Structure 1
Amino acid sequence: MEKFANLTPKEIVAYLDEYIIGQNEAKKVVAIALRNRYRRLKLPKEIQDEIMPKNILMMGSTGVGKTEIARRMAKIMGLPFIKVEASKYTEVGFVGRDVESMVRDLVIASINLVKEEYRLKNAEDIEKYVLDKIVQKLIPPLPKGASEQKIEEYEKTASKMKMRVEKGEMDSLKIEIETPKRSLEIDDSNMPAEFIKVQETIAKVFVTSKENPRKEVTIKEAKEILKIEASEALLDMESIKQEGLKRAESSGIIFIDEIDKVAVSSKSQGRQDPSKEGVQRDLLPIVEGSVVNTKYGSIKTDHILFIAAGAFSLSKPSDLIAELQGRFPLRVELDSLDEEALYKILTQTKNSILRQYEALLGVEEVTLKFDEEAIRALAYYSQKANEKTEDIGARRLHTVVEQVLEDISFKAEKYQGEVVSITKELVKEKLEEIVANVDMARYIL
């Protein structure tokens, strides 16, 4: 991920353009926010502490690209990143996940990110460890006091065996190895800080009280099991945890989707859900900056970047509590998708849904060919379905394309070795009646 750390805002937008059509303002705001993460870390420590992240609120109907922008952000950053849904959290005192658990999830994601970087840096050592362990199982060690000739012969045999194992020639052969101890994993996302260490102590008792179980596995399976053992043996896990905690604190990003689901609309009648406003009030200190205890240590949230997103179809941003609104100073509204935008999503995005289906059916030796007019028709009927039923944006393309290709996909063996053309007439035949009938469209599409 290091190669992405120094991307300029223009380069970030160019990357996002490969996957997301339009939404230039949202891409620009996000790109600047990402670049500012890099800029801040290059400054002296005393200035770093003063520069707070400018949190972002993205507004727009479902399927216009809010979540996709977040998903692609995770792909291009060497920064700790998680996506959560606000609707999954409850006020403290209610049954469910409390909002502090999102910070704990970020720490875990950050540690996993650092661990993977360390694994890549130490890939050669890990590979050597695995090969040596397997060869030791395949060739009995020499007795003490063996002659130099025997030692030389042993080393030649071991070298040849190592090459065969490395090439995969021995993958089907079975050997007996010790499998790693399984730690007692308990979800501590809602556990009070004072109980986290108690839980870890109990888990250690369970783990250390048992010997490593021995198991007969193929060499192919052994390679994967021994990689885990090698990582534990060769990597400094304590340093990895501390680095992960540090990165989460200084450059972590939390994307909170469905923030509108915890807004309390002023238009709604009757009794309000007391948990909604409670979630906002619990979220406020985390976004403002507070200390959250995790099993890896405490973390300050002052410099975590929060990006919230919501459709705001039944509420509006002003329905959030005023203090929380103030913590999201940057606001961007995403455009609804028209027919032309849907057409571009089908034709111009990298790994578009059409390319995905071409690849999937290619496995069955079926060659799909989409006529230009057919693609235009897919965009047209998707837009009509969005107008007549709920507007779900680009997600409608998935149901529409699936409806057109369903029979071909089901009977793929019938078309093996053939080129199957998707024409405008076929699209019309499959979709026109459904889209015309609102009730049917609501049920099928």
Structure 2
Amino acid sequence: MEESMLNEQTPRQIVEELDRYIVGQKEAKRAVAIALRNRWRSRQLDVAMQDDVIPKNILMIGSTGVGKTEIARRLARLVKAPFIKVEATKFTEVGYVGRDVESIVRDLAETAVRMVRQERMEKVQERAAELAEERILDVFVPQPKKSQNPLGKLFGGSDDEEKESSEENKEPKYAAGREWVRKRLLKGELEKEVIEIEIEDSGKPMVGMFAGSSLESMGDNLQDMMANLMPKKQKKRKVSVAAARKLFQQEEAAKLVDMEEVKDAAIRAAEKSGIVFLDEIDKVAVKGQGSGPDVSREGVQRDILPIVEGSTVMTKYGPVKTDHILFIAAGAFHTAKPSDLIPELQGRFPIRVELKSLQKEDFQRILTEPQNALLKQYKALLATEGIALDFADDAIERLAQIACDVNAQTENIGARRLHTILEKLLEDLSFDAPEMEEKEVRVDAAYVDKKLKDIAVNRDLSQFIL
């Protein structure tokens, strides 16, 4: 996490990395790459100037399924930065029932804590594995209990001498027993053995009691306070040695991590590296002089404004300053325009990027080029059944054409249309795969037409099926 804050990738390298997963949309990729590089540049400045250089927030304009969310998500993964995606329509103006916009920052802090904690836990895995093994040994070979005779003192202390000699006799047996079990564990002979273990009972969280309201943060704080007051309960579970090792290792790693340090590092990461993707911003844009729901939508914009401008939000981990968080807003803007947003909010998103609608050539590339392209995914899934699936070039071209046509005739859902089409195309194959004798299947244009032509041509059918 700390390393991500000093990411030194050039804009060109960032775009090349995004190209591995996302087809086209060069302008949007360039915009986010520059924004990311500017973060690195600002950290090279004097401390006095750093505070004045704020990130240039981005507004992405484009219909659904063209890659807006994926660009932001991949960018966050690339730099290991705290990232959250929220929908502007989920929030309500302060005073109304619903989530208030400050929960965006609370969620970002939560994500940052989870990431930093995971990173710190990975660093202590070696030590945690050793401690986990000791706990497994304790289950197989429990430490001998010291025998106590309450009447011993009444008879002149001879019992103490007997006790000491019996303890001495037990110790070598105990050590030998542990060593014997340890060797079997190392050889993997006991992995499937079922044992009874005791682990911490995390308890059921109070989900829903405060969720979706302005009392949400109060609910979090109350839950934490109660958890600290009450002693941690232990619960017994019967699991295999392999499962016990994972549970023990996770528990021991958590104990080795200093949560106060994690909280401090997480807040710094959220403040300096956090990325918030604000989707469906066009849905809260108000056209003309509105009333009723329009008033509330404008209120949401005004509530978002101070967070985007820079303010301090209290979270259960401490105050988080939003001045240097990068906000990427996105929307289709079919009915509303960016100019329908309140002027103050428009000014906080100086970089505007329009994402292009996908064409036939884009669909062809989406099917084959990305690192985990759709066709590669389906081939890998069916390979688990022993099926060797192969797509001819004319089949890929035909699938791209159908996706393009159906998007044009019905609702344009971009690349998501390919998921629907491929599921329909391979439905019979996926169902029959376990019983098939013919293990090699080649999909060509004729196969595609046989499965999809009638549906693709019939507009009414394609509306419901594709």
Residue number among 255, 262, 282 corresponding to 1:240 in the alignment:
262
Q: Aligned pair 1:434/2:436, yes or no?
A: no
Letter of the 1:318 counterpart? S
Equivalent-residue separation in structure 2 for 1:66 and 1:256 (angstroms): 11
Equivalent-residue separation in structure 2 for 1:410 and 1:167 (angstroms): 40
Q: 1:35 to 1:166 in 2, by over 3 A?
A: farther
Letter of the 2:254 counterpart? E
Residue number among 181, 187, 191 corresponding to 2:201 in the alignment:
181
Any idea what SS the aligned residue of 2:276 has? strand
Letter of the 2:42 counterpart? R
Residue number among 242, 248, 264 corresponding to 1:226 in the alignment:
248
Letter of the 2:265 counterpart? E
Structure 1 residue 155: deviation in Å?
4.8
For residues 7-406 of structure 1, the aligned pairs below 5 Å read 7-141=9-143, 155=175, 157-166=177-186, 168-183=188-203, 185-186=205-206, 190-191=214-215, 197-205=221-229, 207-208=230-231, 211-266=233-288, 272-406=293-427
Structure 1 residue 142: deviation in Å?
5.4
Structure 1 residue 413: deviation in Å?
2.4
Equivalent-residue separation in structure 1 for 2:173 and 2:413 (angstroms): 69
Equivalent-residue separation in structure 2 for 1:39 and 1:103 (angstroms): 24
Q: Unaligned regions of 5+ residues in structure 2, if any?
A: 147-163
Equivalent-residue separation in structure 1 for 2:98 and 2:279 (angstroms): 17
Equivalent-residue separation in structure 1 for 2:276 and 2:187 (angstroms): 42
Letter of the 2:424 counterpart? Q
Structure 1 residue 428: deviation in Å?
1.3
Q: Unaligned regions of 5+ residues in structure 1, if any?
A: none
Is residue 258–residue 311 contact of structure 1 (8 Å, CA) maintained in 2?
Answer: yes
Is residue 90–residue 98 contact of structure 1 (8 Å, CA) maintained in 2?
Answer: yes
Is residue 92–residue 282 contact of structure 1 (8 Å, CA) maintained in 2?
Answer: yes
Any idea what SS the aligned residue of 2:234 has? coil
Equivalent-residue separation in structure 1 for 2:345 and 2:291 (angstroms): 24
- TM-score normalised by L of structure 1: 0.92
Structure 1 residue 140: deviation in Å?
2.8
Aligned residue for 2:161?
none
Is residue 200–residue 233 contact of structure 2 (8 Å, CA) maintained in 1?
Answer: no
Any idea what SS the aligned residue of 1:20 has? coil
Q: How many percent of aligned residue pairs carry the same amino acid?
A: 48
Letter of the 1:218 counterpart? S
Encode CA deviations 1:317-365: one digit per residue, 9 max, x unaligned: 1111111111111111111111011111112111111111111111111
Is residue 83–residue 111 contact of structure 2 (8 Å, CA) maintained in 1?
Answer: yes
Encode CA deviations 1:252-305: one digit per residue, 9 max, x unaligned: 111111111111234x99854432111111100000011111111111111111
Equivalent-residue separation in structure 2 for 1:319 and 1:59 (angstroms): 13
Any idea what SS the aligned residue of 2:319 has? strand
Equivalent-residue separation in structure 2 for 1:160 and 1:100 (angstroms): 57
Equivalent-residue separation in structure 2 for 1:410 and 1:380 (angstroms): 26
Q: 1:224 to 1:275 in 2, by over 3 A?
A: farther
Letter of the 2:182 counterpart? K
Residue number among 424, 434, 445 corresponding to 1:424 in the alignment:
445
Which structure has the larger Rg?
2
Is residue 121–residue 254 contact of structure 2 (8 Å, CA) maintained in 1?
Answer: no
Structure 1 residue 24: deviation in Å?
0.6
Encode CA deviations 1:187-235: one digit per residue, 9 max, x unaligned: 6663276675444323434x42x64233333222222321232123211
Equivalent-residue separation in structure 2 for 1:307 and 1:81 (angstroms): 11
CA-atom RMSD in angstroms? 2.5
